[in-house]
Amino acid sequence: MKKNNKMKEFIKGQVIPINKANIDTDIIIPKQYLKSIKKTGFGPFLFDSERYSNPGTLDNLDQRKINPDFILNKSPYNRGSILIVNDNFGCGSSREHAVWAIKDFGIDAVISSSFADIFYRNSFRNGLLLITITKLDLEKLFQNVEKNIEYELTIDLINSKITSQDGLKISYTLDVSDRDRIIKGQDDIAITLENKEKIINFENEIKRRKPWLYEE
């Protein structure tokens, strides 16, 4: 694969372990935050009901009480960029805001044994890497993280490998088109524009063959 400075071939960061299954999108970002469609500014509300001790809105963040026992409020997890969770992550409603909140917090990748289908597609469309590994590898990963709070993973996007400082190695599979979205940082529009010349040629050919369609 041809390399350039814009490509992201590795993701490396502190792990955030949340060993729970069936975490739905309402837990990831509650419904009261869905009024905004800016795609940014949702990071402070990620896992809102567990992260804070009192209810919130988009406008009262400075009045919230932090729950000191929740993992995202603890160091080093509050600066983590790789989330590991249990089965069926992202189930529930199809709100795209869930992905926006994860990304806005600073998380670049989520590792689990399974993901909800709609959440999976929303994630890659918004530049969030999801990696599916076996249940056995996931449990091993959770066990290793428990032994070392300062635990970093390196994700090799080209070779589909996950490695850690304690020698753990995990292989995974990923659709090539999804992988390239992450490596190149592309959304649907950018992927479409890769075929810009073909689209223009097609339009010109239609104009030549059916000029009456373009008459005013």
Angle at 77 between CA 73 and CA 29, to 5 degrees: 60
* Confidence (pLDDT) at 117: 96
* Confidence (pLDDT) at 3: 41
Distance CA 182, CA 128 (A): 7
* Confidence (pLDDT) at 185: 77
pLDDT of the chain along its 216 residues, tens only? 334 446 789 999 999 999 999 999 999 999 999 988 888 999 999 999 999 999 888 888 888 999 999 999 999 999 999 999 999 999 999 899 999 999 999 999 999 999 999 999 999 999 999 999 999 999 999 999 999 999 999 999 999 999 999 999 999 999 999 999 999 876 665 665 566 677 667 777 777 787 877 776
What number of residues does the chain have?
Answer: 216
β-partners of residue 155 are 11, 162
10-185: which CATH architecture?
Alpha-Beta Barrel (3.20)
DSSP state of 91: B
Residues of the chain with CATH 3.20.19.10: 10-185
β-partners of residue 66 are 52
Residue whose tokens read 């490396």: 12
123 by Cβ neighbours in 10 Å (0-12 / 13-18 / 19+) ranks as buried
Asked if 115 contacts 135 with a C-beta cutoff of 8 angstroms, the reply is no
Please state the pTM of the whole predicted model.
0.84
Q: DSSP assignment of 96-134, as one string?
A: THHHHHHHHHT--EEEES-B-HHHHHHHHHTT-EEEE--
* Confidence (pLDDT) at 187: 64
156 by Cβ neighbours in 10 Å (0-12 / 13-18 / 19+) ranks as middle
* Confidence (pLDDT) at 6: 63
Distance CA 37, CA 51 (A): 22
* Confidence (pLDDT) at 8: 86
The tokens for 49 are 């009901």
